[in-house]
A = this chain, B = another copy of it.
Amino acid sequence: MIDPSDVIPKYYQLANILRQQIENEDFQPHDPIPSERQLESHYNLSRPTIRQAIDLLSRQGYLYRVHGKGTFVSPPKLQKGILELTSFSEDMRNRGLTPGHKILEFGYVKPNSETKRHLEITDDKKKVLRIKRLRFGNDEPIGLQDSFLSLNSGLDITREEIEKRGSIYAILQEKFGIYPTEADETLEVTLATREEAHLLKIQEGSPLLLNERTLWSQDRKAIEFVRILYRGDRYKYFVRLTRKQ
């Protein structure tokens, strides 16, 4: 069950085994899993390793512990996908829609002061990559996305890559090893200007959902500031929150 020669750490192997058992519904919600001592002898691992695996699954929302009683399976509603940052493409696929996009603007620009503030840029000469796109779900216009990327010199994304891959985040990860790890988002209501209304095929003055996001990578550098205008009649924002700790 646990392969000591595997490059995957033992605690991670055990976490995978337990996660699979939970997803297979070998345990029912609020059922206790075997105690740490039982797992210790069953898998022939030390207790700290067992605890490391259970820690991981607790943080991910699969299990919860009760001191003196045991460790229990969280009901399915609370499993999986806890706080995942998702791109527009991922988001659309999660909703069962086929994502699409049309690039309206692409190129390096001098950021305005608001963008500089969000991207924590102090260098006056620094340029950012602006990508303005109309976003579709099942070929219907859903949102208008205006993205400003702060990339280190040397790192570059071409228009062709965006056209082909669709998701900026996928390119950042695959090409540069940059992973979005944290984001601040705001949501508010605005009314469509004439231009926005035209692009989104709605009436001028229709209510829109404005989503602004600043994104940080795993080394805590601000990498993107993006404004997304969603059609008020076609889009519902979803988020899952957990309390500190």
- Which A residues form the contact surface with B (CB < 8 A)? 29-30, 48, 56, 59-61, 64, 66, 74-75, 77-78, 81-85, 120, 179-189, 191, 207-209, 216, 218-220, 222, 232-233, 235-245
Contact = CB atoms under 8 A, between A and B. Distances in A.
Contact of A220 (B74, B84, B191, B233): B74
A56 to B, nearest CB: 8
Nearest to A182: B242
B187 A237 contact: yes
A243 B181 contact: yes
Nearest to A214: B77
A210 to B, nearest CB: 9
A112 to B, nearest CB: 19
A218 B64 contact: yes
Contacts of A56: 245
A58 B160 CA distance: 37
| Residue picked from A186, A237, A238, most chain B C-beta under 10 Å | A237
A36 B179 CA distance: 26
29 contacts: A29-B220, A30-B220, A59-B59, A60-B245, A61-B182, A64-B218, A75-B120, A77-B120, A77-B216, A77-B222, A78-B220, A83-B83, A83-B241, A181-B242, A182-B240, A182-B243, A183-B240, A185-B239, A185-B241, A186-B238, A187-B236, A187-B237, A188-B209, A188-B232, A188-B236, A189-B209, A189-B232, A191-B207, A207-B232
